[in-house]
Structure formats: C-alpha cells, structure tokens
Amino acid sequence: MALNPELPDPKAVVDSIANGASELITFIPRAAKNLAENRAAAAADLKEIGGSVQAGLPDNPGVLPEAAVKLVGSIVKRGIGLVEGVVSSVDETAKGVKSQIDRVLK
C-alpha cells in the first residue's frame, strides 16, 4: 500500500512533534533566565540608589526625595522588564513551535 504523496512523511511528523514539544518545555528555562537577568538588574539599581543615599546622608537630606524618584523609576522599569521577559520567552517558544509546524507542512 503506497502512502499518499501529498501527505508529509510520518517520520518527519513525529520528529516535528517531538521538536515542538521540546520547544514548549524550554519555555520555563527561557523565562527563568530572562527573569533572573531582570532581577539582577533590579538589585544593581537598588544597590546604586542605596549607595547614593548613604553617601549623601546626613549632610544632604535632599538625596532622599531624589532616591525616592529613582526607586519608583526603577520599580516601573523592572516591572516592565518582567513583562518583557515573559513575552520574549513566549515569542521565542512560539517561533520554535511554528518552525516545526512549517517544517511538516512544506
């Protein structure tokens, strides 16, 4: 019994499904890596802000409002970074799965 020449090779389909599943599984490590990088950047921001407060006090109490503004800016920036990290991971995973689907459909 001959296979329909219009259908993809079953071996290629199974291989593509396995590769697509592998792409889905790698989502968590990708997201974790992106989030860890964002956390490290947030820690560096906080260290810098804390250092400027320590250096300025007690002689210059004006560092407190400046530090508060920087802290709010850092929190907003890192919050956006968290969203970007997850979205980036989803995008990379979706591209990997899509490439496996395209591979089968060609």
Tell me phi and psi for residue 53, to 5 degrees.
Answer: -70, -45
User: How far apart are alpha carbons 98 and 75 in whole angstroms?
Assistant: 34
Confidence of residue 2 (pLDDT cuts 50, 70, 90): low
Listed residue (10, 28, 5, 35) closest to 104, CA to CA: 10
14 pLDDT more than 90: no
Q: What is the pTM of this model?
A: 0.66
Query: Tell me: the pLDDT tens digits for 47-94?
Result: 999 999 999 888 988 899 999 999 999 999 999 988 998 898 889 888
53 within 8 A of 67, measured Cβ to Cβ: yes
**Could you report the per-residue pLDDT of 24-52, keeping only the tens digit for each?**
888 888 889 888 999 999 999 999 999 99
